[in-house]
Structure 1
Amino acid sequence: MDFSVLTEMDLELRESGMRRPFGEHFSKNSLRPPMMSWCPGMSRMDSTLISLAIRIDTRLHERWKERARRVACPITTSASLLGLPPLTASLPKSLPEPEPMQFGRVRLSPEERQRQISSRSCLYCGQAAFDTVNHQILLSTLSELGISGAAHAWIASYLTGRSYQVANRISACLADISVWMTDHHLKLNLGKTELLFLPGKDCPLHDLAITVDNSIVSSSQSAKNLGVILDNTLSFSTNIKAVARSCRFMLYNIRRVRPCLTQEAAQVLIQALVISRLDYCNSLLAGLPACAIKPLQLIQNAAARLVFNLPKFSHVTPLLRSLHWLPVEARIRYKTMVLAYGAVRGTAPQYLQALIRPYTQTRALRSSTSGLLASLPLRKYSSRSAQSKLFAALAPQWWNKLPHDARTAESITTFRRHLKPHLFKEYLG
């Protein structure tokens, strides 16, 4: 009996779950004559026969365990009449209890059982099926899929007391990298190595630590990569605070020399030192709420007022129009659309091209050549807010709202020429 059959049984599909294995093995099973003699009126496979078979299997298993626990007793044969020593047979006094994932009459040898336990392998299939899976997420997902009762408790009992070996795998990977770098006369700087654990939905935080070359690297709440600070919730709040802090420092220094600068010189200086920081990797902020990116918008407003040397509370929208500056939210959308254009035209990296696909229709229509992208279907077991931050969801949604001339542009220069006026009109009128 395999795992899928047992799962079907627990999902109140007992008859359909047992019909296939019984149909295959019942005709040649040695239990058929006794069972048919006990139940002469049973000519078809129904729920009564299945229940009877389960009871027989359970009873036989209990009797086997009872005999295994008996004290060994000698068995005398007729050989003693011939003056030969009696033949004795003994049964083991006790057998180890089977693991929850080990069922059926096939028993592992003690050596094999210990080997699989030490390697944290499943005693049913012999593979490390649960090594890199978060147990709570697995059990929660099984419950959402409708698996409950004995099957769910059966899997939960197997996972109890076991740990998934993510840290060990990361340590082994970094050890291989360290060896490769040493062979090429390089060195892995463990002092600058950071470990960031990104938990899933409803997943508790784990205090992971990896060991590489006798050095311990503990997990942190955030880590910097290529100048961008990633936090364990991917809210980018730490990165936004860091960018806003550095931009305020630049604005403070520029304000001190502003009386000595012309408006054109101040604009060039602010664009080089402040606006460039707001634009760096800003596509990562796509899908964030307006309250999250508000600190960056306040920085841009202060920069526009400083260009014209105006007071703090001056109205900023006319200033942005005069400078031809898109607001921060529009700049994020602009960068995302540029990446989407590269993915559509095949010039972006392969991992971006795999996230989007063109919209295809069942029959030929005029819109077939409009350059639309297929929307990402909503997943049943994922929240809408989480999917709204995905590039695969945002890119088609924003792309399909672009004018036809922008979607069908032949070059990136032409695309940018159509994209900025469209966003400028949408956000600044």
Structure 2
Amino acid sequence: MISDLHHLATGTIRKHLFLAGIWVVSIALPVFLIARVGIQFFTPPPSDRLLMERDIALPDAFPDPARTAQNPFAPGVARSFDHFDFQVVDPQLHLLFLAHTGPNPDREHQVNPHFDPEADAKNDGNIIVFNTQQQKIVGLLPIPQVTGLTLDTDQHHVFAADSNDNIIYDINEKTMRISPIMLQENDSPDGLAYDQIDHLVLVANPGSPANPDETNAIERKNQNVTFINARTGKVVGRVRLGIDGKWGDDVGHVRFDPQLHRVFVAVQQLPNPDSTDPNLTPPTGAAWLVSIDPLTMKVVQRLHLPDTCITPHGLLIDPTVHIGFLACVDSNPASLIRIDLQKMAVISEKPWIVESKPDMLAFDRTLHLLYVASASGLTVFQQKGRSFKWLGSYSFGVNMHSLAVNEQTHELYIPLARMGGRPVLRIMRYNFEQYHD
């Protein structure tokens, strides 16, 4: 009897405690959640590292009847497969040159049956000239299919690579007069760099097929770095690079280190160009960073890159510490590696993850910031001396991979093919006032 009463009392106490617990939770939890919402509502979010300044509407990549003598830079409309490529800033004349390559001719023909890739490609694309002080477009150069751009700051000449016609155009910034420099047929120039010591324009040529109806293989002679005397406008030498595998090499960006007096270019052994496999990737363990002496125009060293780096393409050099930054496009995930150029050795560290399909790299030396522009967004790093750290990643829409930095104003120039139905130049800046670590 006593035992039954004890069990009954214990059960009653447990029931009351359970009900009391439920009551406390039902009251306390809403109060806690309301308090958290209140804190979030009244506490401002942390400032972004990248601040938006403005969007500048850009002209169309194609000839546009809206462009008139009264309105020579009329804003264009967004187009499928539109494309921007290299940019270059002249800090002395406050001019930004932006390659608006336009849609790939073959892809444009797929959606526009009236587009003739052979004839209309000659009008596909232009170079936009933007005044960074006046914050407005001041020129539109009718040079089609431009990829690489580089600057001779001494003479104020910009050099532009016409990949479709195998021409390097010499542009006088002060007169906007344009002079062509012919390359080999099927060189298909891409990236450019400038050797300010020897006054050489450095041209990275990945090449294009000579007989695409028969094979997509590229002749080895078209896989090269070409040297042009910037003062005479003459080709003075070539360094062949397509020495790997059965089909040679893909040639990435080219850069110059003035202190080491060396030219650097990334190469990747090509897979079968006639393969029908849509997921075919280049072979692993077949990528190199090549060092070239610009005086002898000979390869002096080839650094074998890690197996994790597949299709090295975007390349940038910090000559103050002789570190090269190299974007590995087809790595999974896409990544960035660093190279000690004095030792010609990959720095021992894990690859740095970046947004997919990285291409352009830009460096703000005074703020020690490295920007990696990819098809899917932008990744920001900070380098101080030899230390390196990730700061953030950002997305701005499809096919965002072109980037330039104005080191005087610390502004970023990001062309976007589709923003509000138009191509625009987005101008941003790093929030140095908030983040100056």
| Structure possessing the higher relative contact order (Cα contacts under 8 Å, 6 or more residues apart) | 2
Q: Which has the higher helix share?
A: 1
Higher share of residues assigned strand: 2
Q: TM-score, normalised by structure 2?
A: 0.23
